[in-house]
Amino acid sequence: MPFDPAAAPAGVQLEGELQRTDNRLHLRYRLADPSGAIRIPSADPTPARRDGLWSRTCLELFLAVPGEAAYWEFNLSPSGDWNVYRLRGYRQGLAPEPTVVALPFAVARRGDGLELELAFELAPLVADDQPMQVAVTAVLETHAPAGGTDAGPLSYWALGHPGPEADFHDRAGFLLRI
């Protein structure tokens, strides 16, 4: 759901599926945008680990071990670019996770949106039987107002928004348990 439904483009729908089998995480996002309001980055011929992906359309995932301050932020751009960060605590010590050196995922563009699918071994981050808290989120950028070439406004999507501002790092928003 968007943080501010009034700021979200009309007709946009974002769905997801999350499954953990043994220590493999499978995540699928489906974005439907019948009006073409969302600005989707073009496919990058050489996708790579990049910073700042959250400043444009970016599908995200936050993982944490219950009771531990540290957590991870996954950024998946429809361009194919990605990043995985480890944080020491709430918005502290943002640094690329060194154990994740590649994050292959598939993006299929559809007439009215896209589907993004990630399958990831959690082993570099957690043990097989380690429970996790999860937040599935997205930043969606709209096209600039008519005639403009700059980026349009962003809307912030999550399963729940626990505070007065959109804040994906708020552990109260890590609503799923796997």
Alpha-carbon gap, residue 42 to 34, rounded angstroms: 18
Asked whether 64 and 70 are in contact (CB, 8 A), the reply is yes
Mean pLDDT of 12-19: 95
Q: What is the pLDDT of residue 144?
A: 76
Mean pLDDT of 18-30: 95
Write down all domains in the chain, each with its CATH number in brackets: 5-177 (2.60.40.1190)
Q: How many CA atoms within 13 Å lie on the side-chain side of 139?
A: 20
Q: Where residue 148 falls among pLDDT bands split at 50, 70, 90?
A: low
Q: What is the pLDDT of residue 155?
A: 94
Mean pLDDT, rounded, of the chain: 93
pLDDT surpassing 60 at residue 147: no
Q: Where residue 149 falls among pLDDT bands split at 50, 70, 90?
A: low
Phi/psi zone of residue 36: left (φ > 0), alpha (ψ -120 to 50 degrees), beta? left
pLDDT surpassing 70 at residue 43: yes
Mean pLDDT of 92-116: 95
Higher pLDDT, 28 or 146: 28
> Which value, in Å, is the radius of gyration of the alpha carbons in the chain?
16
Q: What is the pLDDT of residues 55-79, one digit of tens each?
A: 999 999 999 999 999 999 999 999 9
pLDDT surpassing 80 at residue 94: yes
How far apart, in Å, do the first and last CA atoms of the chain sit? 21
Asked whether 100 and 72 are in contact (CB, 8 A), the reply is no
